[in-house]
Structure 1
Amino acid sequence: MDGYDSIVQEKLDAVMPWIGMYIASASAVCTLAMAADLLYGFKRKKLWFPCKYFSLSATSLTLLAVAMKIPMDLNTNMLHSADLLAKLGSLVFMSTAMANFMSSLGSMNDKELLANIVALGILVITIVANVLIQHIQLRQIPKYVGVVLLPTISVMLLLVTFVSLAITIPTTKRSLESKYQEKHRVALAEEEVVQRRESISFKNQRRKMMKYWVMAETSNPQFVMARSVVCTTSTLIPLLPAIMLATSHIKLIMWFKDLSFGTAASVYGGYTRWIIVIQSIGVVVGTIAPTLRWFIDVGFKYSTTNYYNVRDEFRIETYWIQTLVDWRDNFSSLQIRQDKCTKYLHDAKWFILTFCIGVQILIVLISKLVVFICALLMSPFFLCFGRINKFLMWLLSKVMTSDNNGNDQLGDDTDINLTSYLLLLEGEAELPRRILKDIVRRADNTIQAGLKKQPQCLINLLTKFVGFNGVGEFDSNQIPSLHSYEPPNCWTLPVVTLTTIAVALPNIAKDKKDQLVSSVSEGLSLAKIVEKTFNTNAQLWNIKKAADVSWVRVALCRNWLDMDLRKTSLKVKTSKEVLQKLSNKAGRTIMEFKREVKDAYMENPLYWPVKVVAANSMYRVSRTILLSCEAENEVTDDGLFEGISVMIADILAACLTNLAHVITTMCHRNAIEKREESVQEAFLLLGKTEQILELLQQREWPSLDHDKATYIDEWRAFFCPGGDDDPAVQLQVII
């Protein structure tokens, strides 16, 4: 039986090197994610290094659980030099990873925060429990105890700081949101004054939006977490284990005179060295961001510390303990009854939470003390660095007197007092001016990125529009309905229908059709943003879906309802034949739907199949154009194509008059966790649509309120208040 057991054990051990490769792969993915966050922070000049690719989530915790296989392995003999180094490296790698994604706590809502903290706690406690079991069993081996003790303590301390920060997040977000809403009301009041005196221009739009950019950047929960004293102090925790790991590397390399790190006797085989190398690289990469974050925070603390009133520096702000106080004083979860059990439960809850409040206060005080001492110790360096920096800036200003881009950039915004829109927590000192300059510079860089992506094909199409008459003329009320009810219109469906007709016209050069399709494709992408921002009701969902489905087939396959538009344009001789074919095809589709469907529920056009919605639009638009053509004696194919292009340009132009309102709305509509991303998209859209906004400004707009201007049916009602359409008037636009 012993021989059989040994054979089975050998077979099981034979596959363990593959497990080692799995551990090395998971460690490599985590290392790459930390490196990506590091590069992203440098690229965006956010030296507090937001967690974009490596954050606290189910994915990162799963990868870390795989990477921690070695310290959690209780049955493998890992007392040789390379094996012990792998165990030490794994624990240091874990503490470094935790220090990197600590600021990501701010980007989670309450449910995600609770779930991720619990999951992290389970993983850390499991690691610590396994290490302690090994420590108890191997306490007579000094080299093992010396290896695991310090990194295990650092991992546990980091978990405590994670919990401490997580407790403050709900209160912090409420405070920031309250301040944001207050500043938002002030900004709206200023905008009303500006709009009464000035016309809306690209420059004024940028200036107005810059307030929201500053508020979104400074109230970004990740940035708030990164500049907190607890997060700053926690970045020091992995440094000692990292130094210990580096020392162990140096000792082993000197001892063995090469990079072999000694022998590895564990069942993981040669992959043990791969794990050591990859996790050591991960520690080096992962140490950079927390160290720089600590350096910047300490430097900021040095410049803002009131050394004459040190007592204020150690004041505990309300938001640190407010959540725990609310939990302690909340009686709603306990059913009030006159018995001893309820009293004991309440007393136990009160004492436990009071103890937690004391621990939280102690953590904050220690963190403030550490940051204060670091600021004092580093003060000679910061003083010297500050003077050198001032001298270099003075020298640069003398050499490059003509280059004032940075000053002008901020100077353009000083008149609106951007510093008043910095959102800070209670007790926080005002951020340095250079941070405000960096924030403004990032905003302008985002606009510049948008300027490089301007839709030139769409801009060329919009140069054809001279007014907005096409909005009221693409669908004539003289066309009888084929159904009892007519579905409402959205911006995209008539544009798709008109483009389909233009693509099907005969005797039109292919490059002109392709150019129109490219222009409309760019226009629809912007029109969808308008619809997504304002038309949030479910009534238009099916209509917009019909436009999307139809456009994919037209743009990619030149096909509409199984009708090949290329073949159709080649078979027919005149444009009227094409219009008649499209009208007949659409009419048959609608009539078949009426015959086959007997459900009264489907009488509502909001529930029609998308092909029926598209057919109804095609029927009405093609019949309207036919009606216009009959009012004229001579209709050329090129003239009709140009007329349809003008009508498309009119509709898209009317839709895009909402862009300024869309961009402003994007700046302040989303939740605090997503607000910075939304504001960044708004600035990118502002740069992308600069020429479009300037082009639309040159035309006189109808006097429609913002709420009405977002719906095409409101525009149609404005241009056709009586509901009567004159085909001759339509003909002037189309032909």
Structure 2
Amino acid sequence: MSPNLQYDSDQFYILKATCNRSVIGYLDQLRELALTSDRQTLYNKPMPWIGMYISVASLFCTLAMMADLLHGMRNRKLWLPCKFFTLNAASLTVMAVAMKLPMDLNNLVPGDVDQGAKIAGVSFMCTMMANLLPSLATMDSKELVSNIIALAILVITLVVNVCIQIYTGIFINVVSDEIGFLERVIYATVYVVPILMMLIIYACSSLAILKSKQILELKYQAAHQTTLKDQELQVGRLLSVEMLKKHVSNYGIMAGTGSPQFMLASSATTSAAGVICAASTGVLILATIFDFKVLGHPMSDYKWSMSVIFIIQFIGTILGTIAPVARCFATLSFKFSVKWIWKHVKWLRAMFSPSSIVLGPNPAQPGNYEDLRRYVLLLQDDIEFADRTLKGISKSMNHLIRKAEKRQPQNLMKLLETSLGFEGVEKYDSRHVESVVSDEYLNCWSLPLVTLTSIAMSLPNNQKKTVDCLVSGVSEGLVYVKHVEKNLNAIDDHVIIQNAAKTLWVEVEIYHKWLGNNLPKPKVRVNTPAQILQWLRDTAKDIVDKVEEMDIKGRNGNSKYKSICANSMYRITETMLSNHENFDEFSQEELFGKLSSMIADILAACLTNLPQVIAMKCHTSSIEKREASVQAAAQLLGETTHIINSLQDRELPSLNPDELAFIDKWRACLENPFP
């Protein structure tokens, strides 16, 4: 073989080997691409369900915004305060989930629906921020700072991600090289600037809120002192229902106009937020009409869920814009009354018309709400408050009262009808009876009521219907007794007794037991009233003795509770046995009647404090809670209107208003009316 042939043969084998390696390498690349594609397909499988997760979060935000809108409309609050959709950790978390799509830097948006969903997400964020703005006023300084920082982190992250996507072309579905600098600036201005302006509004509002609250607080305290002079409680006299309604109305005006949310909702920053929100929504609508095919097929990894995201966020943006815009219009009605507008209309007419023509009746005539204007709290004294807003707040209070009047406690009212005075307060417990506990406990309203009801339930011969009516009446009465004790007897020593009574009542009402003993007592050698009272007295003493023998002396929670309840039972049963030596002559029905009468007298005495409780509920030191507190006072007034009227003509003991809240003061005064 010649050298040339040998060389050609070697070249051939080398070339063949090289080709084989190339083919093998190419096939390996194809295999890797196939494996990568399979993995990518596997990784993308959950993407539609992630899209549904985004849709659910967006739906929650939309429903919360609609709930606030309906709540404000229903309660005649045109400034639409935030109650359900407020700025907090939970709402920020849900908002972050809803914004996952515009924050996504990696997934392409090749379809019109995909691109529209990203843009809808940005507009949806702007709408949510506009709706959340009034909720800033409900926070203290610490909460305000933390929530603003958290929101700023979310917004800045969203803005940076959107800007990156505009630069790379992902956000607007173009190749990066095909978009110029000016176009990038235009897109950033349209989609990013509104959110940044919203964040600036949040920062400005936060700075203004703290100072505004201080101003409103000073004005509130001045109006509060004026109201106290007009509505002072007098010794031996209860505030009438009409006086209480006026009292609630006055504080309703103070709480409504001095509400931080009302203040912020009627500010220029909120008006600006409404304008920005409306503009952002308008851009979304125009973009949807002219640039996108809403019914097209999604082409991104989110697949069919992209259409769901777009529809929910698009609808949420449209509906969520209602509240912020309703606030470019409600602010005007708050600040400018008909009288103010009429004055300026006449001024303009005088400029352009040589003659003065009367156009109709002068709306500047004083109305029925002029006397309420001194309770209006405004940051700026030179702005006259609109009559219809003042009228709306007053009507809202009256509506709450009328609505609550339909929920009168019928069983309690029937029980109070059996009370003719306050003798039961004096007779239920005698000072001559010694306690069986080492530590002497103070008395409260609720514990004697629960103990006397337990005694009445222990009488086996009474009809079940009669006993049930008594229990229902006491149950309804204890609701209002707790209002009295919570607001007027909030001393630690009294709270311990009140908590014991509360726990005991659950056992008595639900399980028909008293400290583990069944009520009524089975008819086994215990039939007469005297025998029943003796059994209850001895049982109570045995319980106290067991507690004392354990050397706990009431310091342990459960043992102390038993000691308090058993001591009350012992004192009351021993008092009744001491006052009536011939108890065997009484029937169970007669004893039940006496017990019911004492219960009714104690309830009547306690509930004479309701006017003072209602007056106190109208005023609270926390500016964020005043409006809710006045509403609670209005509801309490409505529910107890008939009770207050029925107690109005009763002669009260010679006690100061503050002393009327304590049952021991009543007993001391009734036992010795002429010291």
Q: Same fold (TM over 0.5)?
A: yes
The range that moved more, 223-232 or 539-548, is: 539-548
Aligned 8 A contact 2:254 2:377 in 1? yes
Change in CA separation of 1:156 and 1:428 when aligned onto 2, cut-off 3 Å: farther
Quick one: which amino acid aligns to residue 111 of structure 1? K
Which residue is equivalent to 1:512?
466
**SS of 2:623's equivalent?**
coil
How big is each residue's C-alpha offset from its partner over 1:460-514, in whole Å with a ceiling of 9 and x where there is no partner?
A: 1111111112112211223232223321111111100100111111210000111
Residue number among 575, 587, 594 corresponding to 1:624 in the alignment:
575
The range that moved more, 535-544 or 436-445, is: 535-544
Aligned 8 A contact 1:542 1:606 in 2? no
What does 1:48-447 align with in structure 2 at a 5 Å threshold? 48-138=79-169, 139-140=176-177, 142=179, 149-192=189-232, 200-251=239-290, 260=295, 262-298=296-332, 411=368, 417-426=371-380, 429-447=383-401
Aligned 8 A contact 1:668 1:679 in 2? yes
**SS of 2:103's equivalent?**
coil
**C-alpha separation in 1, matches of 2:584 and 2:551:** 41
**C-alpha separation in 2, matches of 1:520 and 1:11:** 66
How big is each residue's C-alpha offset from its partner over 1:191-221, in whole Å with a ceiling of 9 and x where there is no partner?
A: 34x9699973111221233211111110000
**C-alpha separation in 2, matches of 1:475 and 1:446:** 40
Which residue is equivalent to 1:668?
619
Please say which structure displays the higher CA radius of gyration: 2
How big is each residue's C-alpha offset from its partner over 1:579-609, in whole Å with a ceiling of 9 and x where there is no partner?
A: 22222221111000000025xxx46799952
**C-alpha separation in 2, matches of 1:97 and 1:176:** 28
**C-alpha separation in 2, matches of 1:436 and 1:59:** 35
Q: Does 1:11 align with 2:51?
A: no
Quick one: which amino acid aligns to residue 552 of structure 1? V
Aligned 8 A contact 1:218 1:424 in 2? yes
Aligned 8 A contact 2:456 2:592 in 1? yes
**SS of 2:192's equivalent?**
helix
Residue number among 718, 723, 727 corresponding to 2:669 in the alignment:
718
**SS of 1:238's equivalent?**
helix
**C-alpha separation in 2, matches of 1:603 and 1:550:** 16
Pairwise CA distance, 1:578? 2.2
Residue number among 643, 648, 651 corresponding to 2:594 in the alignment:
643
How big is each residue's C-alpha offset from its partner over 1:350-408, in whole Å with a ceiling of 9 and x where there is no partner?
A: xxxxxxxxxxxxxxxxxxxxxxxxx9xxx99xxxxxxxxx99x99xx9xxxxxxxxx99
**C-alpha separation in 1, matches of 2:656 and 2:194:** 60
Aligned length: 621
**SS of 1:706's equivalent?**
coil
**C-alpha separation in 2, matches of 1:148 and 1:7:** 37
Quick one: which amino acid aligns to residue 139 of structure 2? M
Aligned 8 A contact 1:227 1:297 in 2? yes
Pairwise CA distance, 1:16? 1.3
Quick one: which amino acid aligns to residue 279 of structure 1? Q
Pairwise CA distance, 1:704? 1.0
The range that moved more, 158-167 or 436-445, is: 436-445
Aligned 8 A contact 1:568 1:578 in 2? no
**C-alpha separation in 2, matches of 1:140 and 1:427:** 58
Residue number among 494, 497, 502 corresponding to 1:548 in the alignment:
502
How big is each residue's C-alpha offset from its partner over 1:408-455, in whole Å with a ceiling of 9 and x where there is no partner?
A: 9x73x65xx111110010355121111111111111101101101111
How big is each residue's C-alpha offset from its partner over 1:683-711, in whole Å with a ceiling of 9 and x where there is no partner?
A: 11111111111111121111111221111
Which residue is equivalent to 1:41?
72
Q: Which runs of 5+ in 2 are unaligned?
A: 1-31, 170-175, 350-358
**C-alpha separation in 1, matches of 2:328 and 2:413:** 48
Which residue is equivalent to 1:706?
657
**SS of 2:329's equivalent?**
helix
**SS of 1:489's equivalent?**
coil
Residue number among 566, 570, 595 corresponding to 1:615 in the alignment:
566
Aligned 8 A contact 1:542 1:607 in 2? no
TM-score for the superposition, normalised by structure 2: 0.86
**SS of 1:437's equivalent?**
helix
Q: Aligned residues: percent identity? A: 40
**C-alpha separation in 2, matches of 1:428 and 1:235:** 25
**C-alpha separation in 2, matches of 1:545 and 1:296:** 47
Pairwise CA distance, 1:572? 3.6
**SS of 1:216's equivalent?**
helix
Which residue is equivalent to 1:347?
none
Change in CA separation of 1:529 and 1:571 when aligned onto 2, cut-off 3 Å: farther
Aligned 8 A contact 1:506 1:570 in 2? no
**C-alpha separation in 1, matches of 2:645 and 2:544:** 42
Which residue is equivalent to 1:317?
none
Q: CA RMSD in A?
A: 3.0
Aligned 8 A contact 2:236 2:655 in 1? no
Aligned 8 A contact 1:95 1:151 in 2? no
Quick one: which amino acid aligns to residue 423 of structure 1? L
Change in CA separation of 1:10 and 1:525 when aligned onto 2, cut-off 3 Å: same
**SS of 2:580's equivalent?**
helix
**C-alpha separation in 2, matches of 1:210 and 1:703:** 30
Pairwise CA distance, 1:647? 0.4
Change in CA separation of 1:157 and 1:620 when aligned onto 2, cut-off 3 Å: same
Change in CA separation of 1:141 and 1:148 when aligned onto 2, cut-off 3 Å: farther
Aligned 8 A contact 2:119 2:284 in 1? yes
**SS of 2:300's equivalent?**
coil
**SS of 1:236's equivalent?**
helix
Residue number among 487, 490, 503 corresponding to 2:441 in the alignment:
487
**C-alpha separation in 2, matches of 1:305 and 1:207:** 25
**C-alpha separation in 1, matches of 2:334 and 2:391:** 15
Quick one: which amino acid aligns to residue 212 of structure 2? T
How big is each residue's C-alpha offset from its partner over 1:52-101, in whole Å with a ceiling of 9 and x where there is no partner?
A: 11111111111110000001111111232111100011110110011111
Which residue is equivalent to 1:459?
413
Quick one: which amino acid aligns to residue 643 of structure 1? K
Which residue is equivalent to 1:689?
640
Aligned 8 A contact 1:304 1:429 in 2? no
Which residue is equivalent to 1:401?
none
Quick one: which amino acid aligns to residue 244 of structure 2? Q
Aligned 8 A contact 1:629 1:635 in 2? no
**SS of 1:425's equivalent?**
coil
Aligned 8 A contact 1:58 1:116 in 2? yes
Aligned 8 A contact 2:337 2:387 in 1? no
Change in CA separation of 1:645 and 1:74 when aligned onto 2, cut-off 3 Å: same
Pairwise CA distance, 1:577? 2.5
The range that moved more, 262-271 or 570-579, is: 570-579
**C-alpha separation in 2, matches of 1:571 and 1:134:** 89
Pairwise CA distance, 1:247? 1.9
Pairwise CA distance, 1:147? 5.9
**SS of 1:71's equivalent?**
helix
Change in CA separation of 1:197 and 1:660 when aligned onto 2, cut-off 3 Å: closer
